[in-house]
Amino acid sequence: MIASFERRTDPYMTIQLHDTLQGKKVPFEPLVEGEVTMYLCGPTVYNYAHIGNARPAVVFDLLARLLRRSYKLTFARNITDIDDKINAASVETGKPIDEITARFIKAYNEDMGALGVNPPDIEPRATKHVGEMISMIEVLIEKGFAYEAEGHVLFDVSSNESYGTLSKRDLREMIAGARVEVAPYKKVAHDFVLWKPSTPELPGWDSPWGRGRPGWHIECSAMAEKHLGTTIDIHAGGRDLVFPHHENEMAQSGCAHDGAPFARYWLHNGFLSMDQTKMSKSLGNVLLVHELIKTVPGEVIRLALLSAHYKQPLDWSGETLESARRMLDRLYGAVRGIDVSTDDIAAAEIPQDLIAALEDDLNSPKAMAAFFTLAKELNKAKELNKARDDKTNTGLAAQMYASGELMGLLGNDPEEWFAGHVEGDLSSEEIESLIEKRNAAKADGDFETADAIRDQLGSAGVTIQDGRDGTSWRRS
């Protein structure tokens, strides 16, 4: 219902971003006036993305939307399709690597699309950039920052004075305290692999150091250089990537480029936990986006992911989705019954305090508060002006949709939303079958499963009531 539209540029905008390297919030200024380059470390494609993996995709999609209002943005999000975990998945399943990566690249894009994540401008794949990686490694050897040993090429961390500055680590202390067994071909334990040999069964490429494959870190440095240049404006990713991945990327790129800064601003999102515990396969609490979107509308998941400031930890529970659902009900409730044209939306102003909140280091909870203030204003106006095409109402509704466009929300028709026809909603059969499962779990005394199913139904907008004649349900 909402066509995409061009936004005018706003010359007065000043964005503040928290830069990990400087350790503080600073005004954002791109290298080239009016243009921004941004690189986000993307997925390693050997399985489905979990809800934690979706957090960087969603929060930096919001940043991309904000930047596009005022700048010509070139946004690259890579695909890591050379990795030992992919090789292991191939051995485990007996499926060829290409088949595994093709399947999970497709699934990743579909799953993120369901969360309203716009495709990046460039989606470089490691397998298509091995030549660039080899060239960068050659430069690093030539300049004395890397060495070859037993078919490996290693980055010599001691040769790089600023190694450790991003993650605030002291290299000498790190080396002294290293407990890891040092591979015989390494000068020191923290020297990391740029290139390693491959056995005949493993994927490999010919190189000056024999048939082998690149290390993970060099993949991103080479792809960023190829598509975004020597110095990029924003480099983003999850907090866990600060060390070693980003520290190593920064070292490689800086050294290959004679000390030119690799990224002007480093942004890292906080971690998502599940019911106060780390998500991990062994705990069995990994929530896959691919599964979740079967029962919960993508917008609910997106808003849940934006409910905390991106730098803060986010603890995920049944309540996280339920409250996001209620918030969206309020937004859709406000615009319900008002006809707005795409022209009205294109011409509408987004409330200044909503934009100011996003410009302040992407403060999404504060932006949502401004969104609700607008919804409240519209609800009040609707009480006063009953005509369906009342100008005040349509004007405010157009502002709501324009704000929704920026946040990646309100993309559905309100009537469909409330009728439960929005993709991701459960069918009556699915609801009944979940209720049956819940009752069976209750009868077995498995209250944890029973509660989990009630939460799942709740987050899909279904309220259940246990009575003498069984369990009844309704869509809320």
> Using CA atoms, how far apart are residues 289 and 281, in angstroms rounded to an integer?
15
Cis preceding-peptide flag for 119 (omega within 30 of 0): no
Which option in Zn ion, ligand AMP, none does residue 253 bind, with CB closer than 5 to 8 A by kind? Answer: none
Q: Which stretch binds ligand AMP (CB under 6 A): 1-9, 40-48, 383-391, 416-424?
A: 40-48
Q: Rounded CA gap, 97 and 263, in Å?
A: 32
Residue among 41, 76, 410, 422 that touches Zn ion (CB under 5 A): 41
In the chain, the amino acid numbered 190 is H
Neighbours of 50 (CB within 10 A): 21
CA distances from 459 to 25, 242, 296, 323, 449 (A): 35, 33, 7, 8, 15
Binding at 190: pick from Zn ion, ligand AMP, none (beta carbon under 5-8 Å per type): none
Comparison of 40 and 402: residue with beta carbon closer to ligand AMP: 40
Question: Smallest distance from the beta carbon of 202 to ligand AMP, in angstroms?
Answer: 20
Q: Of 213-221, 285-293, 310-318, 380-388, which part binds Zn ion (CB under 5 A)?
A: 213-221
CA 353/CA 372 separation, integer angstroms: 11
Residue from 18, 20, 28, 52 in contact with ligand AMP (CB under 6 A):
52
Stretch that binds ligand AMP, among 53-61, 114-122, 165-173, 258-266 (CB under 6 A): 53-61
Least distance from C-beta 54 to ligand AMP, angstroms? 8
- Cα–Cα separations (whole angstroms), residue 310 to 305, 360, 400, 444: 8, 12, 23, 40
The end-to-end CA distance of the chain, in Å, is 24
Q: Which helix (H) or strand (E) holds 226?
A: helix 216-228
CA angle, residues 303, 306, 311, in degrees to nearest 5:
170
Does 43 sit near ligand AMP (CB under 6 A)? yes
Cα–Cα nearest to 459, from 293, 258, 250, 219: 293
Task: Single out the residue of 41, 59, 100, 398 in contact with ligand AMP (rule: CB under 6 A).
Answer: 41
Compute the least distance from the CB of residue 277 to ligand AMP, in Å: 11
What's the CA gap between 220 and 177, in Å, rounded? 28
36 binds ligand AMP (CB under 6 A): no
Task: Classify 203 as helix, strand or coil.
Answer: coil
Nearest-approach distance from CB 53 to ligand AMP, in angstroms: 4
Does position 271 interact with ligand AMP (CB under 6 A)? The reply is yes
Closest CA to 342 of 402, 413, 416: 402
Name beta bridge partners: 38. Answer: 75, 234
Q: How many residues bind ligand AMP (CB under 6 A)?
A: 15
- Residues numbered 231 to 260 that lie near ligand AMP (CB under 6 A) are 237-238, 240-241
Q: Yes or no: say if 226 and 129 are a contact pair by the CB < 8 Å rule.
A: yes
**Residue range at the interface with Zn ion (CB under 5 A); choices 1-9, 182-190, 215-223, 374-382:** 215-223
The minimum distance between CB 220 and Zn ion, in angstroms, equals 3
- Note whether 220 binds Zn ion by CB under 5 A: yes
8 A C-beta contact, residue 322 and residue 458: yes
Residue 208 class from Cβ within 10 Å (0-12 exposed, 13-18 middle, 19+ buried)? Answer: exposed
Given Zn ion, ligand AMP, none, residue 320, with its beta carbon under 5 to 8 Å by kind, binds none
Smaller CB separation from ligand AMP, 142 or 240 = 240
Query: Which residues partner with 316 through β-bridges?
Result: 274
Binding ligand AMP by CB under 6 A: which of 18, 37, 56, 225?
56
| C-beta of 52 vs 411, nearer to Zn ion | 52
| Residue 76 in the binding site for ligand AMP (CB under 6 A) | no
Which of ligand AMP, Zn ion, none does residue 243 bind to, with CB < 5 to 8 Å depending on kind? Answer: none
Q: Which of 20, 37, 53, 74 binds ligand AMP (CB under 6 A)?
A: 53
Whether the CB-CB separation of 264 and 172 falls below 8 Å is answered with no
Name which of 220 and 308 has its Cβ closer to Zn ion. 220
Please tell me what DSSP assigns to residue 188: S
- Subset of residues 184 to 223 that bind ligand AMP, contact rule: CB under 6 A: none
* Residue 220 interacts with which of Zn ion, ligand AMP, none, CB < 5 to 8 Å by class: Zn ion
Question: Is there binding between residue 263 and ligand AMP (CB under 6 A)?
Answer: no
Helix (H) or strand (E) holding 416, with range, is: helix 414-419
**Residues that bind ligand AMP in the complex, under the rule CB under 6 A:** 41, 43-44, 52-53, 55-56, 237-238, 240-241, 269, 271-272, 279
**Residues that bind Zn ion in the complex, under the rule CB under 5 A:** 41, 220
